[in-house]
Amino acid sequence: MLELIRTRSTGLAPAEQRVARTILGNPVDVIHLSVTQLAEASGTSVGSVMRFCRSLELRGFQDLKLRLARESIPVEHQVLDEIDPGDGAPEVARKVLAGSAASLEEASRSFDARVLDAVVERLLAARRVLFVAVGTSAPLAGDIAYRLTTVGLPALAPADVHVQDVTARMLGPNDVCFAISHTGSTRETLAAVRTARAAGATTVALTSFASSPLTELTELALVAGSRETSYRIESMTSRIVHLAVLDAIVVLVGMRHPGAQAAREASADVLTDHRI
């Protein structure tokens, strides 16, 4: 990856060349930056960073970070910095679980509960809620859409990105589009949010970075980061943190939604019928 950047940088536009120089100067630091932070560090814009990625035929900014991590981080540190090459199963399990617990604790201290409360109120008032996400965030979107439906809130999470975009076009002022993205720079998710915003829907985000294209695009942003390290930039730990935040949303909706109890009983009846 670094050699590819070196060889192609001279043929890039001036702004993209500045992005290249910033990456080559300290690739390990870039692994831990958001796309907005890299744009600021290189004195360019988010658009320039994304054009740089396209010029190198990458799938996006996340793809760039993953490739940099593979090349720049020692193999023994590509899962978790604290893990040593000689660690056995008990040590690895203990360190991974401890890292996840630390991330949850850090998130609980930095999380803005006022934004959470505002999000829940928007969800309760919504005619319909559309969850959009791709990649490793997609299962989280499907999970909360299902659980909100069981407490009486009309929610859906199409798996296909094209269906997400088409559904976003059909939203209106009484609807909510809720995006889930670790980096906040996933191209398909941003496109669906822009579509929903143009349709007049309320836009909400759950992400790990306070400064990202997604937080700039949405009205309400729940920022719950995690202590991601090296190769875990694909963000297994952040999924645990995000899932905990989504759990809190489901609990609050269940407490405040007037039809939650009836919806739960109806769901229980359906599950009983299926088991029979």
The 10s digit of each residue's pLDDT in 66-84 is 888 877 765 544 445 566 7
pLDDT-derived band at 59 (thresholds 50, 70, 90) equals confident
Per-domain residue ranges of the chain? 2-76, 101-275
70 vs 132, more confident: 132
pLDDT of residue 230: 41
> What does residue 244 show for φ and ψ, rounded to 5 degrees?
-65, -40
Give the SS3 label for residue 163: helix
CA–CA separation, 179 vs 227, rounded Å?
21
Q: Could you tell me the two tokens for 93?
A: 């399990």
pLDDT of residue 228: 47
Q: What is the pLDDT of residues 202-227, one digit of tens each?
A: 999 999 887 788 999 999 999 987 54
Domain 101-275 has CATH 3.40.50.10490: yes
Whole-number average pLDDT of the chain: 85
Q: Which of 78, 7, 221, 22 is nearest to 35 (CA)?
A: 22
> What does residue 251 show for φ and ψ, rounded to 5 degrees?
-60, -45
What CATH number belongs to 2-76? 1.10.10.10
pLDDT of residue 260: 64
How many residues in total does the chain contain? 276
pTM of the model: 0.72
Q: Is the pLDDT of residue 39 over 70?
A: yes
